């Protein structure tokens, strides 16, 4: 590199001599010739990669989807729960299904207006309604055999029957209440063809 620089200066001087000019390059006193190594080194600016700001995770929690719970079925009120609030006088007279069933449930016996078939026969009754022989009385107290087996059987269990809605009627009709000596009370409106449990629990 130095040789090239010196040759360039000599060339300029010779050119000026022949051209008749006195042009000498003005070289500053503090001129420092560039080093070959420094010239060859080219420092390129470093470019830092741009930082992409990733979105911060959201602090908002996703809304919970509440699945509606199936509505809970409420048990239907039983006949026992719906009528047990009424306390019947023990000396009262009753002949309707609800009153007679409740009376038996509360006192374990038939109301005083019921008479047995033997008592009715002593008054001259031979069958049918007792209205002409014992006004305002009803038949009840006979054993019910449960021969068809429609009611649950249990050792020591006995069933008793009584007429329903017969006061003032000319016939006994088909309505009966059949109750056991351990708390079961049934109602039939088709003369023992089918039964509805009014009180107690059927446990075999």
> Within 10 A of 195 (CB to CB), how many other CB atoms are there?
18
The answer to the question of residue 167 being in a domain is yes
Express each pLDDT in 164-175 by its tens digit: 999 999 999 999
Residue 132 included in any domain: yes
Integer Cα distance of 40 and 22 in angstroms: 34
Domain contains 46: no
| 109 occurs within a structural domain | yes
Q: pTM of the entire structure? A: 0.60
- pLDDT of 86: 86
Instruction: Please check whether residue 36 lies inside any domain of the structure.
Output: no
The string of pLDDT tens digits covering residues 65-115 is 565 454 444 444 455 555 446 899 999 999 999 999 999 999 999 999 999
Whether residue 125 is contained in a domain is answered as: yes
Whole-angstrom distance, CA of residue 51 vs CA of residue 132: 112
Residue 171 lies in domain: 79-143+155-199
The whole-angstrom separation of Cα 147 and Cα 153 is 11
> Tens of pLDDT along 9-65?
777 667 656 555 454 445 555 555 555 554 444 444 555 555 555 555 555 555 555
Beta strand pairing call for 176-180 and 185-188: antiparallel
Counting Cβ atoms within 10 Å, is residue 76 exposed (0-12), middle (13-18) or buried (19+)? exposed
Q: Which residues belong to the active site?
A: 161, 191
pLDDT of residue 115: 98
Total structural domains within the chain: 1
> What CATH number is given to the structural domain containing 135?
3.10.450.30
In a domain, 173, yes or no: yes
Retrieve residue 80's tokens.
Answer: 């026992």
Q: What is the pLDDT of residue 23?
A: 46
Query: Is 11 part of any domain?
Result: no
Token representation of residue 102? 């409740």
């Amino acid at each position: 590199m130095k040789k090239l620089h010196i040759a360039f200066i000599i060339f300029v001087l010779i050119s000026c001599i022949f051209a008749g000019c006195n042009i000498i390059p003005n070289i500053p006193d503090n001129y420092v010739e560039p080093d070959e190594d420094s010239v060859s080194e080219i420092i390129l600016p470093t470019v830092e990669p741009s930082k992409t700001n990733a979105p911060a995770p959201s602090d908002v929690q996703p809304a919970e989807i509440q699945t509606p719970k199936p509505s809970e079925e409420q048990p239907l009120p039983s006949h026992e729960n719906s009528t047990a609030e009424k306390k019947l006088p023990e000396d009262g007279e009753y002949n309707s299904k609800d009153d007679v069933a409740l009376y038996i449930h509360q006192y374990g016996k038939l109301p005083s207006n019921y008479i047995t078939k033997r008592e009715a026969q002593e008054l001259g009754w031979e069958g049918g309604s007792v209205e002409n022989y014992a006004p305002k009385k009803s038949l009840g107290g006979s054993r019910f055999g449960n021969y068809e087996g429609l009611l649950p059987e249990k050792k020591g269990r006995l069933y008793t029957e009584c007429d329903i809605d017969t006061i003032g009627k000319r016939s006994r009709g088909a309505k009966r209440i059949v109750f056991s000596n351990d708390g079961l009370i049934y109602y039939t409106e088709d003369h023992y063809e089918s039964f509805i449990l009014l009180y107690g629990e059927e446990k075999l």
